[in-house]
Amino acid sequence: MFRLISRITRPGKKRHNNSTRPQERCKVAPSEEKRQVAAGLEQNKKIVHEVFDRCADLVVREFLIGRVNPVRAMAVFLDPLVNRDLMSEFLAHPLMEVDRVPPAGVTLDWLKERVVTAGSILEKRRWVEAGNGIAKGLVALFVDGQSRVILLDIPEVTSRAISQPISEQTLRGSADAFNEDRRTNLALLRKRLRSTRLAVENLELGTVTKNVVSIVYLKGYADGGLVDEVKTRLRRIEIDGILNSEQVTEFIQDSPYSLFSGVGTTERPDIIAANLLEGRVGLILGNTPYALFVPATLGVFMQTPDDYSNRYWYGSFIRLLRWAGLFIALLMPGFYIAVLSFHQEMVPTVLFTTIMADREGVPFPIFVEALIMELAFEMLREAGVRLPRPFGQTISIVGAIVIGQAAVSARLVSTGMVVVVALTAVASYTVATIPLASVVRLLRFIFMFAGSGFGLFGVTAAMSLLTFHLCALRSFGVPYLSPAAPLSPDILRDTLVRVPVWMMRRRPRFLNPKDPVRQPAGHKPHPPAGRISGRRRKKGGR
C-alpha cells in the first residue's frame, strides 16, 4: 500500500536504466557463438545440415573450381530468398568456368576479386554469422580448405512494386509510397535527398526477425543528442520479433501509457524527406511500408502533403478546416448532449421546438441515444474495413441508410442525433493522420460522458484534463504542444496555416536544429526590375 502511494507521489517518470546491449543476442550457447567455419568442406556440410535441419528449402550446391586439380566448393542458400538466375550468373557460371587457378591456389581473396561477380560480398569467420547470413537470404560460399566463408547478396524480389500509398492519398502529390522492401524504401528516400548529408545507420531489431532498421537523418541539421537518444532507445529493445513499425513505436516513445503517439508514421517518402529537412530523425524498417520519424508534436499529425502542393491560401484554408474538424469531431456529440440536457436556453427557440418535437416518443435520454448511435457507427466503420470488396460499398451505403432510417422510424433515435453523428463522422475523417483520428474517436466518448454529467462545465473540465495531459507530454524531449504551449512564432508559419515557402526561412525552433537557417532573406518573388521589355534588366537587384 505504501509502495503504491510512494509510486504515485514519486516525481516524474522513472526510466529504467538499461545499459545498451549488443543486438546480436542469438540465444545460442557461447561456445556456439565462437565456433569457426571449418576448413574442411565435409565438416561444413555436416554443420549446415545440423543448423538447418528440417529446412526443406535449403539448397546446397556443390561446385568444382578449376580444371586442373579442382577445388571443391559449395554454395548454401535458402531457395525462396535467392534469385536463381542471378545466382547462376554471378556465382555458378564464373566459378565453374574458371580456367586457370593462380599459383597461390584457390584463395578467397582471389575469388572475391577476380571470379565472383556479385555486387555485395562479405567475408565471415564465425559460423553464427554464416548461419545468420544464410537465414537472411545471403548465399554462403564455402571453399574446401578455407576457414572463412563468403556471403553474397543476390536477393529475389519478394515485395510488391512501388505503388500508391494505401492510407495517405493526396490529390496533387507524388504517388510513390514505401513498400515492404527496405532497400526500395531507402532508394525512394535517397532519390529525394541526393546529398552527402544524408546519414544512414543500421541496427537490427528482434532476435528471430532480425529486422534491419535504418536510422536516417541529415548531418548538420538534426540535433546530435537526438540521434544518439534514438540509437540508445533502439539498442535497448530486446525481443524475439519486431513485425511492424507500431511495435517499434511502443518501445521508443516517451510516454508509454498516453493515448497520443510521440512518434510520427507515414507511408510517403516525401513526408519523411520534408521532416528530415526540418531536423527530425527518420526510421525506415523492412517488412512494413510505414516509416517512423521523431520527434513528433501534435502539429505533425495535422499536416498533409496536400497543404504544400496547393497554393498557400488554399492550403491554409484546408488546414484551418482540418483543425476545426478536429475540434468538431472531438466535441460535437458532447456539446450537443450538454446543450440539450443542461443549457437549453442557448438553443434558438425555433430550432429547439423542432428538435424537441423530433425527440417526441424517443424513450431514451439524449446521452443514451448518442451512445447508441455512436457505437453503432463505430461498428459499421470497423465492419466496413473488413468487408470483401464486392460487398463493401453496397452494404455500407444500404446499411447506413437502412439503419439510420429504420432506427429513426422506430423512434429509437431522433433525426437530430443522426445528423450530429454524421457530422461528427465526417469531421473525424478530416483529421489528417490515422493515429490522431483513432485517438479522437476514443476521446469523443469521454466528452460525451462529461457533457451528460455536468453540461458544458463537464466538457470544459474534460478539455482541461486533456490539455493538461498534452501539455505534460514530450516526444524525445520536445514538448508535445510546441509551438503552442511553449509559445513560439512557428505556430503561425506551419501549424495553423501554411505560409508561402519563401517565408519559411528557419527550421522549427523546438527541434533544436544545428543549422537553423533554411534559406536566406530576399526570396520573395517579384517582377523583374527595370523596363518590362527585359532588355535592360538590372542584375541581381531587388
Partner 1 sequence: MPEHGRISSVQLFLLLYITEISTTFLIIPGVLAKEAGTDSWLVSLVPVTVYGLAVALVCVSLAGRFPNQVFTEYLPRVAGRWPGKILAAAYIFFFVHVAAVILSQGANYIHTAFLRETPLLAIELLLLSVAVYGVYLGIEVIARQNTLVFALFMFSLLLLVTFVLEHFSFKNLLPVLENGMFPVLKASALIISWRGEVFFILMLYPYLNRKQEALRTASGVVVFSGISQSAITLVATGVFGAALLPNMVFSIHELVRYISIGFLERMEVFIVVIWVAGLIVKLAIFIHAASTAAAHTLGLKNYRWFIVPATLAALVLSETIFRTSLQQHEFFTGMGRYYASIFQLLLPGLLLFTAVIRKRRDRAGAEKT
Q: Which residues of this protein are in contact with partner 1, per CB under 8 A?
A: 8-12, 342-343, 345-346, 348, 350-351, 454-461, 463-465, 467-469, 471-472, 479, 481, 484-487
> Least CB distance from residue 257 to partner 1, whole Å?
14
- Quick one: 12 or 534, whose CB is closer to partner 1? 12
- Terminal CA-CA length for the chain: 73
- Quick one: 282 or 455, whose CB is closer to partner 1? 455
> Least CB distance from residue 433 to partner 1, whole Å?
22
> Least CB distance from residue 418 to partner 1, whole Å?
22
- Quick one: 55 or 471, whose CB is closer to partner 1? 471
- Quick one: 106 or 332, whose CB is closer to partner 1? 332
- Quick one: 148 or 469, whose CB is closer to partner 1? 469
- Quick one: 47 or 466, whose CB is closer to partner 1? 466
Q: Alpha-carbon distance 432 to 325, whole Å?
A: 10
- Quick one: 343 or 538, whose CB is closer to partner 1? 343
In the chain, the amino acid numbered 514 is K
CA distances from 36 to 25, 80, 138, 162, 234 (A): 17, 27, 18, 41, 29
- Quick one: 347 or 439, whose CB is closer to partner 1? 347
> Least CB distance from residue 186 to partner 1, whole Å?
38
- Quick one: 348 or 534, whose CB is closer to partner 1? 348
Cβ contact 221:515 at 8 Å:
yes
> Least CB distance from residue 333 to partner 1, whole Å?
17
Please state, as a whole number, how many other Cβ atoms lie within 10 Å of the Cβ of residue 109: 11
> Least CB distance from residue 211 to partner 1, whole Å?
36
3-state secondary structure string across 248-267: HHHHHCCCCCCCCCCCEEEC
- Quick one: 353 or 393, whose CB is closer to partner 1? 353
- Quick one: 68 or 350, whose CB is closer to partner 1? 350
Q: Cell 508509454 appears where? A: 256
- Quick one: 164 or 467, whose CB is closer to partner 1? 467
> Least CB distance from residue 8 to partner 1, whole Å?
8
Per-residue cell: 475: 516526444
Q: Alpha-carbon distance 335 to 424, whole Å?
A: 11
In the chain, the amino acid numbered 533 is S
In the chain, the amino acid numbered 427 is A
Q: Alpha-carbon distance 84 to 104, whole Å?
A: 31
Cβ contact 213:203 at 8 Å:
yes
Q: Alpha-carbon distance 423 to 335, whole Å?
A: 13
Cβ contact 400:408 at 8 Å:
no
> Least CB distance from residue 13 to partner 1, whole Å?
11
Q: Alpha-carbon distance 444 to 389, whole Å?
A: 29
> Least CB distance from residue 6 to partner 1, whole Å?
9
CA torsion sign for 306, 308, 311, 314 is: positive
Counting Cα atoms < 13 Å in the Cβ hemisphere of 52 gives 24
Q: Alpha-carbon distance 286 to 289, whole Å?
A: 8
> Least CB distance from residue 181 to partner 1, whole Å?
42
Beta bridge partners of 62: 74
In the chain, the amino acid numbered 226 is L
Please, which residues have CB within 8 angstroms of residue 368's CB and are 6 or more apart in sequence?
none
Please state, as a whole number, how many other Cβ atoms lie within 10 Å of the Cβ of residue 421: 22
- Quick one: 47 or 471, whose CB is closer to partner 1? 471
Kindly report the backbone phi and psi dihedral angles of residue 203, in degrees, each rounded to the nearest multiple of 5, phi listed first. -135, 155
Closest CA to 407 of 344, 363, 440: 363
> Least CB distance from residue 366 to partner 1, whole Å?
16
Instruction: Classify residue 16 by its DSSP letter.
Output: -
Element spanning 31, H or E: helix 30-34
> Least CB distance from residue 249 to partner 1, whole Å?
23
> Least CB distance from residue 485 to partner 1, whole Å?
4
Rg of the chain (C-alpha set) = 30
